[in-house]
Homo-oligomer: A and B are copies of this chain.
């Protein structure tokens, strides 16, 4: 034991024995989902199957958004220079930052600020939302999680909330998110629907995740998408091509199922 001895509470590694948070890894395999493992790794305890399903739906909802997000464009640009796949994915990960994915964390803070006013100041949900909106307007800051450049009625948001309802996970934070939409309409006159980042923020709050981990959910969800795009780039295009950020056409399978 050296003077740099340190401790970690995540995984015990012994010859022929691996345990994550006290659970033997081989006993978990085939029994629990990847999504449950994410919860176990982040929070230290095994979640219910329903929590696992909620996380899985969040991951599936964010697995890809086509070629135009900066994470895909930076990954393709790096891949196009002949770099290995992991370097291209790393460049994509470096793009999952303040303005790309970061809205989830920001919106978690907004919803928690609202809930704090409900719980500790006795405000109604609407009054709490209005108060936070006023604070943001006073400093001319946009509320992350509301409104979308492209989707006015994001099908992923509705589906996430309906799944949360079925699984018994929707609660105060979903109500709070809806209060924000209502009060934003009243205060600004504009319809600013909850976007998918906002919906994920509400659900991560429901499951009591640390906002510091918000971006991690987006990264985990998006890595398969990044890999698929890098793989397509390597199979389909010549190195060093000029990658247009918007003039791209979908030529995959027609709608099915």
Residues of A within 8 A of B (CB): 1-2, 4-13, 15-30, 32-35, 37-38, 41-42, 44, 46, 53, 56-57, 59-61, 63-68, 70-71, 73-74, 77-78, 80-91, 93-100, 102, 150-156, 158-160, 163, 166, 210, 212-213, 215-216, 219-221, 223-225, 227-229, 231-232, 234, 237, 239-257
Most buried by B among A17, A20, A42: A20
Pairwise interchain contact B10-A34, C-beta atoms closer than 8 A: no
| Measured CA separation A6–B257 after assembly (Å) | 27
Chain B residues closer than 8 Å to A38, beta-carbon distance: 224
**Min C-beta distance of A210 to chain B, whole Å:** 8
Chain B residues closer than 8 Å to A66, beta-carbon distance: 8, 10-13, 18
Give me 20 A-to-B residue pairs in the complex whose CB atoms sit less than 8 angstroms apart, sorted by A's number.
A4-B244, A6-B249, A8-B66, A15-B152, A21-B252, A22-B254, A23-B257, A32-B60, A33-B56, A34-B35, A34-B224, A41-B64, A41-B228, A74-B91, A78-B94, A82-B102, A83-B86, A83-B94, A84-B97, A86-B93
Neighbour of A216 across the interface among B85, B220, B257, CB < 8 A: B85
**A225 nearest in chain B by CB position:** B41
Given contacts A64-B11, A65-B11, A81 and B57 within 8 Å (CB-CB): no
Given contacts A154-B16, A220-B223, A229-B8, A29 and B247 within 8 Å (CB-CB): no
| Measured CA separation A160–B25 after assembly (Å) | 11
| Measured CA separation A23–B22 after assembly (Å) | 38
**Min C-beta distance of A211 to chain B, whole Å:** 11
The A interface, classified by DSSP as helix, strand, loop or mixed, is mixed
Pairwise interchain contact A156-B18, C-beta atoms closer than 8 A: yes
**Min C-beta distance of A256 to chain B, whole Å:** 4
Pairwise interchain contact B232-A10, C-beta atoms closer than 8 A: yes
**Min C-beta distance of A230 to chain B, whole Å:** 8
| Measured CA separation A154–B8 after assembly (Å) | 22
| Measured CA separation A127–B55 after assembly (Å) | 47
| Measured CA separation A240–B70 after assembly (Å) | 7
| Measured CA separation A84–B224 after assembly (Å) | 21
Pairwise interchain contact B60-A78, C-beta atoms closer than 8 A: no
Neighbour of A78 across the interface among B95, B210, B232, B242, CB < 8 A: B95
Chain B residues closer than 8 Å to A30, beta-carbon distance: 53, 57, 60, 159, 163, 166
